[in-house]
Structure 1
Amino acid sequence: MFARLPGWARQHLAALRILLVFTVVVGLAYPLAILAIAQLPGLHGRAEGSFVTDAAGHRVGSSLIGQDFTDASGNPVPGYFQSRPSAAGGGYDPTSTSASNLGPEDVADSFDDPATRGVDESRQSLLTQVCTRSHDIGAFDGADGRRPYCTASGVGAVLAVYHAGPGFTGRVTKVVSVNELCPTRPFLVTYAGVPVSCRTLADDITAGRQVLIRGDAPARPAVPADAVTASGSGLDPQISTAYADLQVARVARARGLAPARVQSLVKAHTSGRALGFLGEPAVNVLNLNRALDALTPARQ
């Protein structure tokens, strides 16, 4: 019967048959086969999202997605290991997975002008975000929070240096601390013999030569990189062993446990490199904190 149809009609019918076959195979059979495989023992939990439950059977998170361990005011709870920062939505939002998209040259903060009502123009640079986190973590964990190119107060140590001549030539006429808004006292008193002033909203910092001041921070900061930078996805559930080790003393003190006991839990929840050589060993924060709760409740 189809042989009597014109060529164009037979081609359309053949295309329709291919469409139907692939719809059944790819749209129905394949997904159902994958769903059936996912129900096998050992795979079901992973297929359902790797949810983690407490002793009462309530879901407390997923071992694949990080979360914050903070109180109602957003402050970190001393008795819990803290996760790395997240730029996904308000933090660890699976529907807004993202990075900050800020690069190493993002070192100047923006400040809100009170004259502009209804618009908040303030924004921390990547450098200040790193400096602030390192400063706060250092204070929280009793460690040295100093970092190169950061002030003691935890902002980027950046100067705008103005010259008398064109193209940043000639004598220095003015120096402004870019990330310290007046009336804050600048982190440096003078630069090139010129007093350093705090920044005002009227200062055009783009007209000055940008100078970063390294300071006296150690070459290898005590606060590791993953503690002060967000991951590419914003959802990482693990932290480095270095960041976990930094928190052991504080968690042990808050829970009344021996540091060696807490350290043994860290080791038990440390996974090795993928395939034995990819990446670095990491610690799953949620599983580690659940193990701590099984020993003793956190004291907030």
Structure 2
Amino acid sequence: MPLPKEVLTAVRAMVVLTVLLGLAYPAVVTGVAQLTMPDRANGSFIASDGQVTGSRLLGVAPTLDTGKQDDNGDPVTAPDPSFFQPRPSATGYATDTSYFSNRGPNSDTARQFYKEEAAAYLALNAPTSPGLTVGKIPIDAVTTSGSGVDPEISKANAAIQARRVAAARGLPPAQVAALVRKHSRGRFLGVFGEPGVNVPELNRSLRNLEATS
């Protein structure tokens, strides 16, 4: 028994659309991207000495091994004061997943989390920023982003951290401030979003200084 005309039409449409939208269109878009912007198309990777160390799109916190272990036997780390730190992450800066904390503004766990993050920020930055108090901490320094791996921090956050980085590295504050300006951007089209500083690019510049010193 031959198939109804409507079924044959639907099958043909499915095959044609699958070829066009599932194969041809992605191939064309991928090819154009590889020709016009290969760096972005491949993930905006950051390399050092020929080795990929990260991406400009993923914020990862530079840490130091404290030589201690937690209750599970895993090494305990601490923020590396010689590098800029991204905003807190609900994912632990995991690069294979993305989610946010989902804490409500009136949540007890949120208040405790922000209190702990503020205390940690002050402990890390107050010694090089006299007069820094909880009320002067930029909001992005204690709140997580929607992705958990936001590569950018606010200019105010970067300015506070710049003093600490300069002191930790023995660099002139003006030199570190110049690097911050180099990796800063304004609002998209002058209207959308907030000005920010790319932390992975900024830390790569600091590593390059190490390599040339």
TM-score (norm 2): 0.87
Residue number in structure 1 paired with 2:124: 140
If each structure's helix is expressed as a fraction of its own residues, which one has the higher value? 2
Q: Is the 8 A contact 1:255 1:296 kept in 2?
A: no
Distance 1:252 1:287 in 2: 17
In the alignment of these two chains, the number of paired residues is: 198
Query: Percent of aligned positions with the same letter in both sequences?
Result: 43
Larger radius of gyration: 1
Runs of 4+ aligned structure 1 residues displaced above 4 Å come to: 143-146
Residue number in structure 1 paired with 2:56: 63
The question of 1:53 aligning with 2:47 is answered yes
Which secondary structure state, in structure 1, belongs to the residue aligned with residue 35 of structure 2? coil
Which secondary structure state, in structure 2, belongs to the residue aligned with residue 97 of structure 1? coil
Question: Equivalent residues in 2 for 1:208-247 (5 A)?
Answer: 221-247=135-161
Residue number in structure 1 paired with 2:199: 285
Which secondary structure state, in structure 1, belongs to the residue aligned with residue 4 of structure 2? helix
The question of 1:38 aligning with 2:39 is answered no
The question of 1:129 aligning with 2:119 is answered no
Aligned counterpart in structure 1 of residue 181 of structure 2, from 230, 243, 267: 267
Distance 2:86 2:138 in 1: 12
Deviations 1:265-285 (A, max 9, x none): 101110111111112210001
Residue number in structure 1 paired with 2:12: 17
Distance 2:117 2:43 in 1: 30
Distance 1:145 1:291 in 2: 26
Distance 2:133 2:104 in 1: 21
Distance 1:48 1:296 in 2: 27
Residue number in structure 1 paired with 2:170: 256
Residue number in structure 1 paired with 2:71: none
Distance 1:49 1:289 in 2: 18
Shift of 1:96: 2.5
Deviations 1:51-96 (A, max 9, x none): 1101x110010101110111133201111011100112xx222433
Q: Which amino acid aligns with 1:18?
A: A
Which segments of 5 or more consecutive residues in structure 1 lack a partner in the other structure?
Answer: 108-124, 148-220
Shift of 1:146: 4.3
